[in-house]
A and B are shown apart, each in its own frame.
Chain A
Amino acid sequence: MSVDVGLCFQEVGQLGTMLRIGRKLPEQAVVINALFAEGERTRALASAIMRRLALRSIGTLLVELPGFGESPDPLPPRISGWADAVGKAAEVIGARASVTIRGGALVDQAVPEEGRFRFAPASGAALARDLARAAAVERQEAQRPGTPEGIAEEARGTGLRLSGYPVPASLFADLEKAEPLGAAGRVLRLAGDARPADARVGGPLLWRQAEPEEPDALADAIAHDFHAWRMR
């Protein structure tokens, strides 16, 4: 069986081109992947979700946040740089909804609250800690000094290369204070996570796996939940 849902690359102003599936479908949503190294591990999940949503007549666009993925731009000096990119992308495709993965939830403000779907939302403070901790492990293995707190201080003061990303000081400082803003229409978490959520699904902690497992079952669950929620 083959279904023509139309995969294309959508130009979004100065932000470059972004993967888009199902541009003619009646409902459109932006997909915001996790940030930094987590996003590298969940990109396959993001596109698997997008394919499944297209089969449910929901068109999507994967926002290329400045500094990540296929974006031609460097990391922005402030977190608002990412939020602005989301706003422009949502406007271009007429999206009234979003699907975010982990830290993507920190930058979905442009989407109306009732349309925000957040999978495993994380606080900016937690993500900043992760970056500092990963850098500390790297230094330890290279037998160089550095503790997570010391590294965070460096990052805050002068900026630092973290997980291979040249993070400006102002962006790191923003990230440390960032929380998902406003309410979400729906929050979905993994089964083992007791934090507040509207529903939970079973699945692997992909964003923490050095070699992420295949995302298909989790993508099925997320797409199913999103679709059921939108259609209620």
Chain B
Amino acid sequence: MNRSAQADQTLRAILSDVLALSAARTAAITPATRLLGGMPEFDSLAVANVAAEIEERFGIRIADDDLSAEDFGTYGALLDFVRSRSPA
């Protein structure tokens, strides 16, 4: 599996684990899926937990001002964010 696909798989696993989503709901996530403001489970604590899991599982550091509402707006935006921060 290439890095890009691995990032997608890992990020889906993070959302699934943190938000306790079913396998069906996790598989149904697309880049257009709205997260913050779109999913009831996605409150500010969820943002903190997802950010924490991203840092841990991707080994990246999310600086305070990296955490913008836009990055958490859709799954696609979050995936782009993670890919851009991951070591090449």
Contacts and interface: CB of A to CB of B under 8 A. Distances in A.
SS class, residues of chain B in contact with chain A: helix
A208 B57 contact: no
A148 interface: yes
A149 B63 contact: yes
Contacts of B13: 191-193
B49 interface: yes
Given A141-B44, A210-B45, A190 B17 contact: yes
B44 A137 contact: yes
A194 interface: yes
Classify chain B's interface size: 20 to 34
Interface residues of A, number: 27
A209 B56 contact: no
Contacts of B70: none
B14 A137 contact: no
Contacts, number: 54
Contacts of A194: 6, 9-10, 57
Contact of A133 (B9, B17, B51, B57): B51
Contacts of B53: 205, 208
15 contacts: A123-B56, A129-B55, A130-B48, A133-B48, A134-B48, A137-B48, A148-B64, A192-B10, A195-B56, A195-B57, A204-B17, A205-B17, A205-B20, A208-B49, A213-B20
Interface of B: 6, 9-10, 13-14, 16-18, 20, 44-45, 48-49, 51-53, 55-57, 63-64
Given A205-B17, A205-B53, A208-B53, 15 more contacts: A126-B52, A129-B52, A129-B55, A130-B48, A130-B52, A133-B51, A136-B64, A137-B45, A192-B16, A192-B17, A194-B6, A194-B57, A204-B20, A208-B18, A210-B45
